[in-house]
């Protein structure tokens, strides 16, 4: 861990990496100047520049929430299931991928019919939720685009695993944009000076802050159910190629974009995790790599300095446009083909999610040995990208 502490900062920055990009560090310095931030700012080993706050950042606030410190994909997270299978042939994996694609819409695609979820009957009475509710019924159980994925993996425990990375779809985006705009209006009306206007905040003595939390928590529920529906569809796909009975298998589900009230250093605080995973002592977490590297099932060590958090993945080392512009498609596909991975890089536009666009996951895991211990290493066998 490295610490940055100088006269320009109200609180120090504690970092679990030494290769932080300048833009992300500038954003962290802005966070460290906010009047309501408690103790210190945390940067995880996968940190990189985001919108307002670095992705891979953790912030503890007193009686305050910052919409951009949660992000636009509220509830984005991971679901992992350990099957009872120990091997799958490449031909079976290809068939499985085809079946999954028939059942789960990818990218911007939605279901053609409304999907069922009991949560649709108990939505909070909040305008942005009600406005998005009908379209959300077609979106739930869909993967989305960007870095969202479905992956079949072989674990160091000898078993085949299923892993899903997805979030709250358009729900999260609309909530984030709405309440970030409200926060900006409130800060402006009160002549509140901010180091960065993308860090506009809502104080809990306002109705808007509590409304945001209610909307955010509903989006978290939606995101969890979104992953659960997809997992059921994947299990159905396994059944169609002759594999059944995953009922008693281990399964884990976590968020890595959210805010929650937690107790740290004897204080009740709003912990914002933007691209960060809760890692309380003994808590199981999921840290994905890229489609060409290992992912990990981990157990938290409850490190107080990190607000009991760890990384949410490998973290990008180059932006999407730069990756498409600079990476070589032959090099990237050759690397994956040599590993025997059924991958999702078909043309140059797919290079934004190539392994070369991401940080070295081995370095990321080494940098957070005091935050988590590795339970299972997971090597990719087949990947579907959004």
Residue whose entry in the numeric block shows the structure tokens 């068939």? 95
110, 255, 272, 312: the catalytic one is 312
- What are residue 370's phi and psi, to 5 degrees? -90, 0
Token digits of residue 9: 């900062």
Residue 307 backbone zone (phi > 0: left; psi -120 to 50: alpha; other: beta): left
What is the distance between the alpha carbons of residues 320 and 301, in angstroms, rounded to a whole number? 33
Backbone angles phi, psi at 375, to 5 degrees: -95, -50
**Would you call 244 helix, strand, or coil by DSSP?**
coil
CA angle, residues 337, 342, 343, in degrees to nearest 5? 85
Q: Is 343 helix (H, G, I), strand (E, B) or coil?
A: coil
Q: Is 111 a catalytic residue?
A: no
Residue 21 burial (CB < 10 Å; 0-12/13-18/19+)?
middle
What does the alpha-carbon distance between residue 78 and residue 163 come to, in Å, rounded to a whole number? 7
CB 298, CB 279: distance < 8 Å: yes
Query: Which phi and psi (to 5°) does residue 342 adopt?
Result: -80, 105
Residues serving a catalytic function are 312
């Amino acid at each position: 861990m490295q610490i940055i502490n100088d006269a320009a900062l109200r609180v120090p920055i504690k970092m679990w990496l030494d290769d932080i990009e300048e833009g992300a560090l500038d954003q962290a310095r802005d966070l460290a100047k906010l009047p309501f931030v408690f103790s210190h700012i945390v940067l995880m080993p996968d940190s990189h520049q985001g919108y307002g706050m670095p992705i891979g950042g953790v912030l503890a606030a007193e009686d305050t929430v910052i919409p951009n410190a949660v992000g636009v994909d509220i509830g984005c997270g991971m679901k992992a299931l350990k099957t009872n299978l120990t091997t799958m042939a490449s031909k079976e994996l290809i068939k499985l991928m085809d079946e999954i694609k028939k059942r789960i819409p990818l990218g911007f695609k939605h279901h053609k019919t409304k999907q069922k979820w009991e949560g649709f009957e108990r939505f909070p009475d909040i305008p942005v939720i009600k406005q998005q509710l009908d379209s959300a019924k077609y979106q739930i159980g869909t993967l989305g685009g960007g870095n969202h994925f479905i992956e079949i993996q072989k674990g160091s425990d000898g078993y085949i695993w299923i892993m899903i990375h997805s979030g709250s779809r358009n729900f999260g985006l609309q909530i984030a944009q709405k309440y970030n705009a409200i926060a900006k209006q409130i800060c402006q009306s009160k002549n509140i000076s901010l180091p960065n206007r993308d860090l506009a905040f809502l104080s809990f003595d306002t109705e808007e802050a509590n409304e945001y939390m209610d909307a955010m928590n509903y989006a978290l529920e939606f995101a969890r159910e979104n992953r659960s529906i997809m997992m059921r569809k994947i299990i159905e796909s396994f059944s169609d190629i002759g594999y059944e009975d995953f009922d008693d298998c281990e399964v884990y589900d976590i968020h890595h974009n959210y805010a929650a009230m937690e107790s740290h250093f004897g204080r009740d605080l709003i912990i914002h995790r933007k691209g960060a995973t809760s890692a309380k002592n003994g808590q199981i977490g999921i840290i994905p790599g890229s489609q060409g590297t290992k992912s990990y099932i981990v157990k938290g060590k409850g490190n107080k300095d990190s607000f009991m958090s760890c990384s949410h993945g490998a973290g990008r080392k180059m932006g999407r446009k730069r990756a498409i512009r600079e990476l070589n498609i032959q090099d990237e596909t050759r690397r994956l083909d040599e590993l025997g991975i059924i991958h999702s890089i078909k043309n140059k536009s797919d290079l934004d999610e190539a392994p070369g666009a991401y940080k070295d996951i081995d370095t990321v895991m080494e940098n957070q040995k005091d935050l988590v211990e590795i339970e299972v290493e997971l090597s990719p066998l087949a990947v579907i990208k959004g």
